[in-house]
Amino acid sequence: MSIDYARMQKSGPKLKAQLTRATKIVDPMKRYVAVKAACVAAVTEWNAVGAWIDDWSHWQRALDDAFYYAQRTYRLVDGREFFSQRLEDL
């Protein structure tokens, strides 16, 4: 399978803009969901094009940051609900 460079040039800026918008979301859970969706879209597109971009680690760092920020802000209860973790709640 050959690499579709024209498709990558067209979709690359759109994928990066989607990730940028997602990382600017203030709510940690909404940010994590949006960043994860942006990462899934990027990986799907890169696999369809036939190559990952050189800056793929930018998406990985954004996903890690969003996950850990959401994890620090919320705690999972029974796999379904999230509650704010504040000192007053401990």
| Tens of pLDDT, residues 46-68 | 989 999 899 988 999 998 888 88
In a domain, 3, yes or no: no
CA-CA-CA-CA dihedral for 82, 69, 30, 23, to nearest 10: 180
The pLDDT value recorded for residue 75 is 59
In a domain, 39, yes or no: yes
- Tell me the residue ranges of DSSP E strands in the chain: 74-77, 81-84
Count of structural domains, the chain: 1
The pLDDT value recorded for residue 81 is 47
The pLDDT value recorded for residue 87 is 33
Q: C-alpha distances in angstroms, 68 versus 32, 61, 72, 73? A: 9, 11, 6, 8
In a domain, 4, yes or no: no
In a domain, 2, yes or no: no
Domain holding 62, by residue range, is 10-89
In a domain, 60, yes or no: yes
Among 42, 36, 40, 43, residue whose Cα is nearest residue 22: 36
State the number of CA atoms in the 13 A half-sphere of 61 facing the CB: 5
In a domain, 5, yes or no: no
